[in-house]
Structure 1
Amino acid sequence: MRVLMVSWEYPPVVVGGLGRHVHALATELAAAGHDVVVLARHPTGSDAGTHPTSLDTRDGVRVLRVAEDPAHLEFARDMVAWTLAMGHAMVRAALTRLADWRPDVVHAHDWLVAHPAIALADVLGTPLVATIHATEAGRFNGWLSSPTSRQVHSTEWWLANRADTVVTCSAAMRGEVAELFDLDPAPITVLHNGIEQRSWRVPRRRVVAAREHHSPDGAPLLLYFGRLEYEKGVHDLIAALPRIRRAHPGTRLLVAGTGTATELLDDAVRTHRVRRSVAFLGHLPDADLAALLAGVDAVVLPSRYEPFGIVALEAAAAGAPLVASTAGGLGDIVVDGVSGISFPPGDVPALARAVGRVLTDPASARRRARTARTRLGDEFDWTHIAAATAEVYARTTAGGPIELARPKIPTGNVFDR
């Protein structure tokens, strides 16, 4: 099939897990013989002078990367206007740079590309598949209190209701999307994220060196890695650390990643008096992160909101014992007592007890880690996921163009309707 994927991030432009998801899916589809074009963008803040629109082939995938328009728009300051401008540039590039090539399906990834994906599907008369990776309401615990949040939510609603097939990455997200966007959950397809296990294997000497660097006295090591945002719950993990250290003296927490919650986490370590027991490592290269994953006593993922949780797959691939909240997609990945230890989101005492189970019984923790790694090949292999995605493409028929009225924005918490 001829597949046009539309995504606001694609390596080397990576903001979060979405970019890696699209890259893995596109390359696997191309390896299976499909003709894949990814419509993406250049880095934020660049323009046609430094980064002109380009069409290149990488890993069997043609990547059409659009330049930013001349208008002085900044993502952080003008998010909706910037997104609209990006969409306009994508439409122009697709219609002028791909010559006579026409896709059999357009696949949109999240609300930021709703405008170009819908426009191209309408103009070309092709089926529109939309993967909803996360929701604005979910990120803000059900609240749409700002004008920007309401604008994003209504755009998500538009994409979900215009799409001929909606895809989510977990069963929990299917329920969330159906509730938020007034959809029947039955036709929504669940396709998990995947992972390549080989990329997380590192030589034993590097694992030992990483462990000795961060725990020269052999004390227990915990690791959180991922974006530093409120919904990731890292402040809950810091709050639990004093309880954990009382039962397991000397335990240290390593926090790898960047994000907007840095100030919140700085306040948390002061409030809970664990400054000397927490190390903020910033962004780590993949090789260094893999060595840490294989060397720590537990990876702790305390998310309050998590559409899927690809970091859990990465931890499992590296053989790390997992402790995770049951938020969203983490519940699909971490089976309590089987492939890890789970706890309710935001429950600090339960979080501390879950970590304690791992540190008290490391043999059982290692056994669960082996089970988690085995599940990767069965349920989270990109080759299988790409094949299932191609089946979705094949059975999706074009239903547009259609015009939709604006959705009503619920007052109060949208999850309490």
Structure 2
Amino acid sequence: MSRILMLSWEYPPLLVGGLGRHVHALATSLVAAGHEVTVVTRHSPGALREEYAEGVHIVRAPDDPPAYPVEDGNLVGWTTAFNHTLTRAALRAARTARYDVVHAHDWLVAHAAVTLREHLDVPLVATIHATEAGRHQGWLPHPHNRTIDDVERWLAAEAARVIVCSEYMRAEVIRQFGVPAGRTDVVHNGVDVLRWYARPRAIAAARRRFAGDAPLVSFAGRLVYEKGVQHLLAAVPALQAVSSGLRVVIAGDGPYRADLEAMAPPGVTFAGFLGGHHLTALMGASDCYVVPSIYEPFGMVALEAAAAGTPVAVSATGGLAEIIDDGVTGVTFTPQDPDSLAASVATVLTDREYARTLARRGRRRVREDFAWPEIAARTLAVYDAAHSPGGVTREAENVLAGDRLQRA
């Protein structure tokens, strides 16, 4: 049995993006496999400061009274303050528990993670979900962007093992941060197929709300430039020309929303943030779910849509190109190319039998290759490897080598 101290800046009920859902699913899957997990995260209004939920010990750190406003996307000051309260909360939890490993999720918890590694004298494992350079297509325009890049590099250097979600991200971390290839492990994100099943009544309600009898295309995610929603909007007129009455729903919020609304053609609805069953129902009601990202380390939302039984069309970039097999489990298109996007999505909208085949194969692949129990087992192998001073242990190497062989 392993005892894991996990650090994350988001955890249910506080969800900002996919990271919080990932940490929740990993933590609960590790507990289901017989391990002890404590997640230390930030507090959200109405949530308990400390509780056991689904077997996970959750400690939530409230903000300290001094305010650190986030201006022009600069999170550095706020994050530095947050790491102080996160560290104190984790140290309180460590008074009554012993841990075998500290697992940090992204740069926002780096300072607390390194402090706890030193204090507890246990290995540090870091999952780098994305990089600042990747999010900005290699351009770090402001001092705070360069600071975040430095913190990511430092976290990767301090960790005994670095986990990434795709071969694309593995190459990026090795190139960007100089992490030795032998210290970097690919562990894909997982998907709970049952979580993304929507009842027929909920699907029917979503269709009535957003499209009626018209064809429906959807997107869900944080509305930032790198998600590429602008290219989906540019493709809408071409899609409406081949699919009469087409409706497009953009679910989510973010700093780019006003710009996207200004460029949206008729037939597009901005639904705001949709959580829980509402998002599942929208995916299940859609004739095609589109992921038009410019930068996407993995693209878990594509697998979630596939788990909901929806045909998916994704930009052939980053991790998306690794998880969607064009013409087999979904369709792909050239990044930042509205014409390519429209052509690929049109093949789904105009051939219902083809669409059903893609959806069936996509859901099967999610169930067979991205189940959380298997993801948890691979993560445990990384923890085991982190304890070996001269490299990985034999058991961990067998698991990770098998994973590499499967990806090849």
Same fold (TM over 0.5): yes
**Which of the numbers 380, 384, 392 marks the counterpart of 2:374?**
384
2: CA distance between counterparts of 1:67 and 1:213?
A: 38
Q: C-alpha root-mean-square deviation of aligned residues, in Å?
A: 1.7
For residue 51 of structure 1, report the CA deviation from its aligned partner: 8.0
SS at structure 2 position matched to 1:145: coil
SS at structure 2 position matched to 1:5: strand
- Indicate if the aligned counterparts of 1:103 and 1:126 stay in contact, CA closer than 8 A: yes
Alignment of 1:152-191 (within 5 A): 152-191=148-187
- Whichever residue aligns with residue 5 of structure 1, its letter is M
**1:117 aligned partner:** 113
2: CA distance between counterparts of 1:213 and 1:93?
A: 44
- Indicate if the aligned counterparts of 2:166 and 2:186 stay in contact, CA closer than 8 A: yes
**2:30 aligned partner:** 29
- Indicate if the aligned counterparts of 2:13 and 2:47 stay in contact, CA closer than 8 A: no
**1:239 aligned partner:** 234
For residue 384 of structure 1, report the CA deviation from its aligned partner: 0.7
**1:284 aligned partner:** 274
**1:71 aligned partner:** 66
**1:403 aligned partner:** none
For residue 186 of structure 1, report the CA deviation from its aligned partner: 4.1
**1:131 aligned partner:** 127
**1:199 aligned partner:** 195
1: CA distance between counterparts of 2:79 and 2:107?
A: 9
2: CA distance between counterparts of 1:32 and 1:205?
A: 34
Alignment of 1:349-360 (within 5 A): 349-360=339-350
- Whichever residue aligns with residue 189 of structure 2, its letter is N
Alignment of 1:5-404 (within 5 A): 5-43=6-44, 54-76=49-71, 79-216=75-212, 218-269=213-264, 274=265, 276-397=266-387
Q: Percent identity?
A: 47
SS at structure 2 position matched to 1:107: strand
- Indicate if the aligned counterparts of 2:86 and 2:112 stay in contact, CA closer than 8 A: yes
For residue 57 of structure 1, report the CA deviation from its aligned partner: 1.1
Q: TM-score, normalised by structure 2?
A: 0.91
1: CA distance between counterparts of 2:324 and 2:79?
A: 35
Cα distance per residue 1:315-346 (max 9 Å; x no partner): 01110011110121111221101100001210
**2:401 aligned partner:** none
Q: TM-score, normalised by structure 1?
A: 0.89
- Indicate if the aligned counterparts of 2:223 and 2:256 stay in contact, CA closer than 8 A: yes
- Whichever residue aligns with residue 133 of structure 1, its letter is H
1: CA distance between counterparts of 2:21 and 2:129?
A: 12
Cα distance per residue 1:370-403 (max 9 Å; x no partner): 111001121110111111111111121277xxxx
**1:406 aligned partner:** none
2: CA distance between counterparts of 1:41 and 1:293?
A: 29
2: CA distance between counterparts of 1:51 and 1:101?
A: 23
- Indicate if the aligned counterparts of 1:127 and 1:398 stay in contact, CA closer than 8 A: no
Cα distance per residue 1:166-191 (max 9 Å; x no partner): 00011111111111111233431111
2: CA distance between counterparts of 1:115 and 1:261?
A: 29
SS at structure 1 position matched to 2:183: coil
- Indicate if the aligned counterparts of 1:254 and 1:281 stay in contact, CA closer than 8 A: yes
1: CA distance between counterparts of 2:338 and 2:332?
A: 12
For residue 202 of structure 1, report the CA deviation from its aligned partner: 2.2
- Indicate if the aligned counterparts of 2:261 and 2:270 stay in contact, CA closer than 8 A: no
For residue 195 of structure 1, report the CA deviation from its aligned partner: 1.4
- Whichever residue aligns with residue 287 of structure 1, its letter is H
Change (3 A) 1:385 1:223: same
Length, aligned pairs only: 387
SS at structure 2 position matched to 1:183: coil
2: CA distance between counterparts of 1:305 and 1:385?
A: 23
**1:414 aligned partner:** none
2: CA distance between counterparts of 1:34 and 1:131?
A: 19
SS at structure 2 position matched to 1:236: helix
- Whichever residue aligns with residue 282 of structure 2, its letter is L
- Whichever residue aligns with residue 30 of structure 2, its letter is L
For residue 86 of structure 1, report the CA deviation from its aligned partner: 1.3
- Indicate if the aligned counterparts of 2:8 and 2:104 stay in contact, CA closer than 8 A: yes
- Indicate if the aligned counterparts of 1:126 and 1:398 stay in contact, CA closer than 8 A: no
Q: Which 10-residue stretch deviates more, 248-257 or 134-143? A: 248-257
2: CA distance between counterparts of 1:202 and 1:242?
A: 30
Change (3 A) 1:89 1:210: closer
For residue 282 of structure 1, report the CA deviation from its aligned partner: 0.8
For residue 267 of structure 1, report the CA deviation from its aligned partner: 2.3
- Whichever residue aligns with residue 34 of structure 2, its letter is G
Change (3 A) 1:65 1:359: same
1: CA distance between counterparts of 2:10 and 2:279?
A: 22
Structure 1 unmatched ranges of 5 or more: 400-417
Change (3 A) 1:178 1:67: same
1: CA distance between counterparts of 2:34 and 2:19?
A: 23
- Whichever residue aligns with residue 146 of structure 2, its letter is R
For residue 93 of structure 1, report the CA deviation from its aligned partner: 2.2
Structure 2 unmatched ranges of 5 or more: 390-408
- Whichever residue aligns with residue 4 of structure 1, its letter is L
1: CA distance between counterparts of 2:302 and 2:35?
A: 29
- Indicate if the aligned counterparts of 1:307 and 1:329 stay in contact, CA closer than 8 A: yes
- Indicate if the aligned counterparts of 2:160 and 2:183 stay in contact, CA closer than 8 A: no
Q: Which 10-residue stretch deviates more, 5-14 or 276-285? A: 276-285
For residue 214 of structure 1, report the CA deviation from its aligned partner: 2.7
For residue 76 of structure 1, report the CA deviation from its aligned partner: 4.4
Change (3 A) 1:9 1:398: farther
- Indicate if the aligned counterparts of 1:321 and 1:366 stay in contact, CA closer than 8 A: yes
2: CA distance between counterparts of 1:353 and 1:304?
A: 18
